[in-house]
């Protein structure tokens, strides 16, 4: 069978459809407080699909650019590459956020593009930390279109070090 006849992929994780997630969910934006009020959210629409799961070392969210992009495929590849580096490191630190404030730095980052995609259309970014030991974490991620096509895979190795006590958590009624 010729190589172009092969077409299989991992199944998209089961998550709520983006249409079921309100545009702004206070307190559960990927990246927690740092990304919620950053310039990133002015150019990207981020909607948490699961709010992050520290026990399973994963987080998933829907993402797209807020504005329509030109039809140049390279522009969409560049935008997706940028998006891929926003939250992988924080996924590795999910289980440790209640223990300490973490200093996190990317050591390496790779992206594999499987199919053409548009960064201005909804993509599910499913991330999972496969290992954390010796102050390093390894995270993989996958981008899926709304109809379940795997368009890109990413891997990132991060350096993680505790630098202080965990940040204080304030409840909405705290004063």
How does strand 44-48 pair with strand 150-164?
A: unpaired
Contact indicator for 146, 166 with CB cutoff of 8 Å: no
Looking at the chain, the whole-number percentage of residues with pLDDT higher than 70 is 84
pLDDT tens string 25-75: 444 444 444 455 667 778 899 999 887 888 888 999 999 999 999 999 999
120 is catalytic: no
Selected residue with higher pLDDT from 7 and 171 = 7
Residue pointed to by tokens 């522009």: 75
Q: Could you tell me how many helices (H) and strands (E) the chain has, helices first?
A: 4, 6
85 is catalytic: yes
Average of per-residue pLDDT across 68-86 = 95
| Residue 143 clears pLDDT 80, i.e. is over it | yes
Looking at 85-166, list the stretches that DSSP marks H as alpha helix, in order from N- to C-terminal side: 88-93
pLDDT tens string 3-22: 566 677 788 888 989 999 98
pLDDT of residue 164: 86
106 is catalytic: yes
Choosing from 45, 50, 53, 85, which is the catalytic residue?
A: 85
Locate 75 and state its tokens. 């522009």
Residues linked to residue 72 through DSSP beta bridges, in sequence order: none
User: If we measure between CA atoms, which residue out of 117, 101, 102, 29 comes closest to residue 69?
Assistant: 117
Backbone angles phi, psi at 170, to 5 degrees: -110, 130
Choosing from 59, 87, 129, 156, which is the catalytic residue?
A: 156
| Residue 136 clears pLDDT 70, i.e. is over it | yes
Q: What is the pTM of this model?
A: 0.82
């Amino acid at each position: 069978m010729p190589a172009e006849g092969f077409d299989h992929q991992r199944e998209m994780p089961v998550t709520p459809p983006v249409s079921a997630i309100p545009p702004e969910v206070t307190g559960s934006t990927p990246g927690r407080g740092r990304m919620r009020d950053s310039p990133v959210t002015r150019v990207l629409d981020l909607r948490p699909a699961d709010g992050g799961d520290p026990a399973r070392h994963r987080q998933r969210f829907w993402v797209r650019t807020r504005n329509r992009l030109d039809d140049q495929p390279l522009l969409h590849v560049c935008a997706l590459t940028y998006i891929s580096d926003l939250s992988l490191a924080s996924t590795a630190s999910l289980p440790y956020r209640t223990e300490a404030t973490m200093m996190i730095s990317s050591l390496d980052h790779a992206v594999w593009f499987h199919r053409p995609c548009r960064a201005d259309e909804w993509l599910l970014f499913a991330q999972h930390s496969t290992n954390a030991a010796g102050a390093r974490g390894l995270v993989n991620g996958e981008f899926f279109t709304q109809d379940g096509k795997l368009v890109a895979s990413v891997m990132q190795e991060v350096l993680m070090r505790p630098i202080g006590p965990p940040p204080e958590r304030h409840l909405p009624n705290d004063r």
